[in-house]
Homo-oligomer: A and B are copies of this chain.
Amino acid sequence: MASVADDISERLETEIVEGLLPPGTRLEEPALAERFGVSRTPVREALQRLSASGLVELKPRRGTRVLNPSIGRIVEMFEVMAELEAVCARLCARRADAELIRTLKAWLMSCETTAAAQDVSAYYEANRQFHHTIYRGSGNGFLAEQAEALHLRLTPFRRQQLRVPRRLRQSLAEHTQVVAAIEAGDEAAAESVQRDHILIQGERFGDFLSQFGAAAQADAG
């Protein structure tokens, strides 16, 4: 049922998100076409979609490469992510029902257990589901989609974040605070806690990259 272009788009997307295709990697149509055993046409369509979702950069007549944003750009994206999540949390506090709060608490617990078990990939999934639940809990499907899309887009740069165990504990504490605020219907608190929760990741990213100095400044234009 899924078209070839869709399939290629998905496979490339996961490879980019999982870090197999690092930022800056050039994606040449003939090579991809041969690799997937298809012609260039569906490959081109797949690249178009990835370009639209902001994962790759498609310069006219100059080829496609995995997006390699500057540090400043990434910080900007985390800022927007923080604001989107803050809005979701606020609307969630306003509109959430008992069912959603139960789901939220379930994922919170899942985050805690996977973190305790040092299961990194399971923690990532639980964390993603936790945030996803808040997006959906906003009661605004469009907002949820936008948040999900940006979350995905930022995944390649969030990957290194939670290697620091102390940050992970603090992150769990913030999750608990957000759930409490949402359950209490405290919109302002939910918004504020969630915004800072994400903003810290942006700052952490800056700290992380500053270790590498200007080398990471390799801008894709």
Contact = CB atoms under 8 A, between A and B. Distances in A.
Interface magnitude class on chain A:
20 to 34
B87 A140 contact: no
A49 interface: yes
State how many copies of this chain the complex holds. Answer: 2
A80 B143 contact: yes
Interface of A: prevailing SS: helix
A180 interface: no
Given A6-B60, A95-B207, A143 B48 contact: no
A196 interface: no
Interface of A: 1-3, 6, 44-45, 48-49, 51-53, 60-61, 73, 76-77, 79-80, 83-84, 87, 94-95, 139-143, 146, 206-207, 210, 213
Contact of A49 (B1, B52, B80): B52
Contacts of A94: 207
